């Protein structure tokens, strides 16, 4: 299949105006395929370069039955890969009709079909992002050829159909009662934003601000959606109202549906009028308040896309930051302003920002806004949906707001909306809109912040004054090129080891100024207090000692997050011993009150330090530190005062246990002493760990699946079976992942998660060299989504050995490696190299 190049897209956009898609889908023809017919009305511009124009339309059919251009048949055998040539087009209007049989997806691409094992009901939903509309119907598939979309969908009699516009059941087919649904026409939108979802949805509908709002999920999740419906809808409407206070352009679509769909690859997708979310956000087991906040942020993020991406759309994929960075920033900021979740930036600092820092230090790093030449085609564009485009981009915008001022920033984005609504725009267009509202040189700021890679490092230099009154001086060394507007926190330590903040300093870097401060030198000095910029922060020696001894006594959770991230960076860069970080975890986490901090620290301590950065001989002791810390958290919360903290402690204890006794006791009792009771999520988590430890087997897995015959149960059973410490279990899991090609994207992930276990290193050693050729072949057969999953979840990440690194680097030389797999391998091998370096004395 040919990836669309930027040059091809530019030429096609110069020649064509696309007006309207009338799409007819028949979802009743079978379990594997569906019928798809599209009529596209488009025009050839008068200023096209020649008397006639040659172009093409994209599609990936199971069978191309027929195609007609202006009533004249086209030869179906002319389809070349995913391109159907359209030749000799003259100036003026044209109509293309394409009739195909399409194949359903089980990988979350195109039109994904899922049958719920809980009740046998089937659901389909679209994911048309990037090139995947071509799996559903023919299209001129590029973001700057916007058009109106209308859908007619024939579906089983008891199904409901959702689409970008309001849908209506308009008739029934006589022979089987199948419903015929029609959607209202959309405003002009890009092809990747068209959407449909069909099935026997459980729906909750309401009205807000004169518009219909709805939330939808599969029927087996209905009780869980009902339990959270008020929270989801109140968050949705609160964000809607806040965006209308911020933005001068009103919400541009006729309705707002949110569908929680199964086996979704991303967190959510911003289809206008029909946002799709992974249905893990319909919580069927206990969750922490931080996880509820995360769901709320995704709701806010996707709604921000209705303006950033849907109303004003990037012209080409080099500007994905205009979509994702803005939605990420607006999601966190608006949630803080409009809902009960006022600590969102602490969660951002602990969860999202490290994602950006890590991505920005790998060989695969790229600018937030790369040059167009760096994104030559859609295949390369897909690789940039990463921690840089999301987390670093949002951090950059937060710094821009701090430097520019929120008033001028909002004025600039509103000008941007007005100038480019229902059209396309670029970085240059956006910067011009900002520049209209400030005297600051935003063009220079954008060049240095958005066109460069890497994270600056800020290091304080503190000296006691040698003459005059008692005092000290501060200078800041900056490794990097960017300007930074930051706060500098100074903290004094009292006799009871608590820390008290002084009035913060404000600095604009770079500066040659030496800041002189009266009074005693602080016990802790922190650059970027408040986390307003994107930079790695180092601590001076005195501040490191204070942090290690008194971190939990810092009064503000966001400040504690900045300090923890500084220590994290020092471990990753080989400047702080992993054991020292674990010592800080043991000393301070039992007293930590912010759940986002606890979750972020424990995740890094377990997934990176205990499982990768320490040697196999040190792993048991590292895990013991984590189980000891979580036991302390359980003791602190046994009065029921903080159920979220307690749930977090239980989860990490389970995942870190090296002996089965406590877990077997909890499983037998059906509860943790003092709570929580074991819900399905905890039961599967415990059983998975027992399988790793050899304390549970097939009989226990079968019994658990009989008790929970849901999709999540099937994933849990697949994960557990792959984790069993037997040669037979590993062989069966490998066959399922790499050779039979029947696993859905979610079941593939579950098997991969179970397969590689550091406790079973010898058992799976022979599979490490097999991984690379098998992953390359799998990605070539099954496409980008499975290729990415194979690179992420199935990579032998615990084989921290030079041989793994050498074989991986050789694999990267493979001439036909699928791009999404290649990108994942580059990142995995860099992480593996870093782990090897960290282990080196």
Q: Which residues are catalytic?
A: 302
Burial 323-351 (b: 16+ CB within 10 A, else e): bbbbbbbbbbbbbbebbebebbbbbbbbb
> What residues contact residue 81 under an 8 Å CB cut-off, 6+ apart?
1, 2
Q: Tell me how far apart the alpha carbons of residues 262 and 37 are, in angstroms, rounded to a whole number.
A: 26
Q: Tell me how far apart the alpha carbons of residues 85 and 298 are, in angstroms, rounded to a whole number.
A: 40
Find, among 769, 783, 777, 775, the residue nearest to 752 by Cα: 775
**SS3 category, 151:** strand
Q: Tell me how far apart the alpha carbons of residues 689 and 708 are, in angstroms, rounded to a whole number.
A: 18
Q: Tell me how far apart the alpha carbons of residues 711 and 114 are, in angstroms, rounded to a whole number.
A: 10
Q: Tell me how far apart the alpha carbons of residues 410 and 785 are, in angstroms, rounded to a whole number.
A: 36
Phi then psi dihedrals of residue 376, to 5 deg: -75, -20
CA distance readout (Å), 780 to 594, 632, 787, 819: 45, 48, 8, 10
Q: Identify the bridge partners of residue 21 per DSSP, sorted by sequence position.
A: 40, 149
Strand 312-314 with 536-537, pairing = unpaired
- DSSP calls for 677-715: B--HHHHHHHHHHHHHTTS--HHHHHHHHHH--SHHHHH
Q: What angle do CA 236, 346, 444 make, to 5 degrees?
A: 90
Is residue 676 within 8 Å of residue 643, measured between CB atoms? yes
The strand ranges marked E within 233-335 are: 256-261, 268-269, 274-278, 312-314
Q: N- to C-terminal Cα distance for the chain?
A: 48
Find, among 626, 741, 817, 454, the residue nearest to 829 by Cα: 817
CA torsion 594→600→601→606, rounded to 10°? Answer: 140
Q: Tell me how far apart the alpha carbons of residues 106 and 127 are, in angstroms, rounded to a whole number.
A: 12
């Amino acid at each position: 299949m040919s990836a669309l190049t930027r040059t091809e897209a530019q030429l096609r956009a110069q020649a064509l105006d696309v007006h309207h898609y009338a799409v007819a889908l028949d979802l009743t023809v079978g379990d594997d395929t569906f019928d798809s017919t599209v009529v596209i009305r488009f025009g050839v511009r008068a200023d096209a370069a020649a008397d006639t124009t040659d172009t093409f339309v994209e599609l990936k059919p199971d069978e191309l039955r027929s195609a007609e251009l202006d009533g004249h048949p086209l030869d179906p055998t002319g389809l070349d890969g995913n391109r159907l040539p359209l030749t000799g087009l003259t100036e003026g209007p044209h109509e293309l009709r394409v009739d195909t049989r399409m194949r359903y997806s089980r990988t979350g691409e195109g039109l994904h079909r899922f049958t719920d094992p809980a009740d046998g009901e089937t659901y389909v939903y679209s994911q048309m992002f990037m090139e995947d509309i071509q799996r559903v119907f023919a299209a001129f598939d590029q973001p700057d050829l916007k058009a109106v979309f209308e859908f007619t969908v024939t579906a089983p009699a008891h199904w409901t159909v959702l689409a970008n516009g309001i849908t209506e059941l308009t008739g029934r087919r006589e022979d089987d009662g199948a419903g015929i649904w029609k959607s209202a026409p959309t405003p002009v939108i890009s092809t990747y934003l068209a959407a449909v979802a069909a099935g026997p949805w459980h729906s909750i509908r309401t009205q807000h601000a004169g518009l219909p709002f709805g939330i939808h999920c599969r029927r087996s999740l209905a009780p869980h959606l009902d339990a959270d419906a008020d929270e989801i809808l109140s968050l949705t409407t609160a964000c809607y109202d806040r965006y209308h206070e911020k933005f001068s352009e009103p919400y541009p679509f006729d309705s707002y549906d949110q569908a929680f769909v199964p086996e979704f690859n991303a967190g959510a997708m911003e289809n206008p009028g029909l946002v799709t979310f992974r249905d893990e956000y319909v919580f069927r087991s206990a969750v922490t308040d931080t996880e509820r906040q995360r769901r709320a942020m995704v709701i806010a993020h996707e709604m921000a896309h209705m303006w950033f991406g849907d109303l004003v759309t990037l012209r080409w994929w080099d500007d994905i930051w205009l979509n994702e960075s803005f939605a990420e920033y607006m999601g966190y900021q608006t949630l803080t302003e409009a809902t009960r979740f006022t600590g969102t930036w602490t969660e951002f600092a602990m969860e999202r920002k490290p994602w950006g820092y890590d991505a920005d230090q790998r060989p695969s790093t790229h600018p937030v806004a790369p040059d167009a030449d760096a994104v030559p085609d859609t295949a390369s564009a897909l690789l940039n949906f990463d921690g840089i485009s999301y987390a670093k981009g949002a951090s950059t915008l937060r710094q821009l707001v701090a430097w520019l001022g929120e008033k001028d920033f909002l004025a600039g984005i509103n000008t941007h909306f007005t100038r480019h609504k229902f059209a396309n725009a670029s970085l240059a267009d956006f910067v011009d809109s900002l520049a209209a509202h400030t005297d600051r040189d935003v063009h220079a700021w954008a060049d240095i912040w958005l066109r460069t890679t890497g994270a600056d490092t800020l290091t304080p230099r503190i000296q006691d004054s040698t003459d005059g009154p008692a005092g000290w001086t501060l200078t800041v060394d900056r490794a990097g090129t960017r300007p930074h507007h930051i706060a500098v926190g100074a903290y004094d330590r009292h006799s009871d080891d608590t820390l008290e903040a002084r009035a913060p300093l404000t600095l604009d870097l770079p500066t040659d100024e030496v800041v002189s401060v009266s009074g005693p030198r602080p016990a802790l000095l922190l650059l970027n207090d408040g986390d307003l910029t994107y930079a790695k922060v180092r601590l001076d020696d005195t501040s490191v000692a204070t942090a290690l001894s008194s971190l939990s006594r810092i009064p503000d959770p966001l400040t504690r997050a900045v300090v923890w991230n500084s220590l994290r960076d020092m471990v990753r860069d080989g400047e702080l011993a992993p054991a020292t970080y674990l010592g800080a975890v043991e000393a301070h986490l039992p007293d930590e009150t912010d759940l986002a901090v606890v979750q972020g620290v424990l995740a890094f301590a377990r997934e990176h330090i205990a499982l990768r950065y320490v040697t196999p001989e040190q792993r048991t002791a590292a895990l013991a530190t984590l189980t000891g810390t979580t036991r302390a958290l359980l003791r602190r919360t046994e009065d029921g005062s903080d159920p979220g903290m307690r749930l977090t402690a239980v989860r990490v204890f389970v995942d870190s246990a090296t002996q089965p006794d406590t877990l077997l006791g909890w499983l037998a009792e059906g509860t943790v002493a003092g709570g929580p009771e074991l819900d399905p999520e905890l039961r599967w988590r415990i059983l998975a760990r027992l399988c790793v430890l050899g304390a549970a087997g097939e009989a226990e897995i079968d019994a658990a699946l009989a008790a929970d015959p849901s999709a999540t149960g099937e994933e849990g059973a697949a994960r557990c079976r792959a984790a069993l410490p037997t040669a037979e279990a590993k062989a069966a899991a490998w066959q399922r992942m790499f050779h039979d090609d029947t696993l859905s994207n979610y079941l593939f992930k579950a098997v991969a998660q179970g397969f590689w276990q550091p406790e079973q290193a010898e058992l799976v050693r022979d599979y490490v060299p097999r991984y690379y050729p098998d992953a390359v072949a799998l990605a070539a057969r099954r496409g980008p989504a499975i290729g990415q999953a194979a690179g992420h979840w199935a990579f032998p990440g615990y084989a921290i050995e030079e041989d793994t690194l050498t074989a991986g680097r050789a694999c990267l030389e493979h001439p036909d490696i699928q791009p999404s797999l290649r990108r994942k391998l580059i990142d995995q091998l860099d992480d593996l190299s870093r782990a090897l370096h960290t282990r080196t004395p």
